[in-house]
Amino acid sequence: MKKLILILSIFLLLIFTTITKNSTKDIEKQIYNTKESLRILEQKYEMVLLDFNYLSSPEKLMEYQVQYFENELKEIDITNLKKLTLFENEIQIEQFIDSKNE
């Protein structure tokens, strides 16, 4: 009887160990896949950020203005901008920037 209990307990321990090992292996695969996905996304983010910073630099914007718009763009004072809104079929004109917020 003692031998049977000993053999049964060893067998159960082997089964539990195998199950634990397999589940740990699956979790490690998921962690690896997630890290790889994150690494790829970080690389894409860095490339997009570099592209944005390069294309929106003041020098590049001035170059694009000369290249594509020539003399069509003019510098204006931002405080003179107005906002048009349509409210109940009437056009309302408001200051775009409130002077009290400055």
* Domain carrying residue 57: 2-75
* Secondary structure (3-state) at 87: strand
Is there a domain that residue 92 lies in?
no
**Average pLDDT over all residues of the chain:** 86
Q: How many domains does the chain have?
A: 1
Q: How far apart are the first and last CA of the chain?
A: 89
Asked if residue 91 belongs to a domain, the reply is no
E strand residue ranges, 10-100: 82-87, 90-95
Please state the φ and ψ torsions of residue 58, each to the nearest 5 degrees.
-55, -40
Domain-embedded: residue 94? no
**Residue 83 maps to a domain:** no
User: Is 23 inside any structural domain?
Assistant: yes
Instruction: Inform me whether the pLDDT recorded for 101 exceeds 60.
Output: no
Whether residue 23 contacts residue 31, with contact meaning beta carbons closer than 8 Å, is answered with no
> Residues 81, 97: contact at Cβ < 8 Å?
yes
Which residues, other chains included, contact 33 with Cβ-Cβ below 8 Å and sequence gap of 6+? none
pLDDT tens-place string over residues 55-96: 777 777 777 777 887 777 677 777 888 888 888 888 888 887
pLDDT score for 99: 63
Q: Flag whether 97 is in a domain.
A: no
User: Is there a domain that residue 90 lies in?
Assistant: no
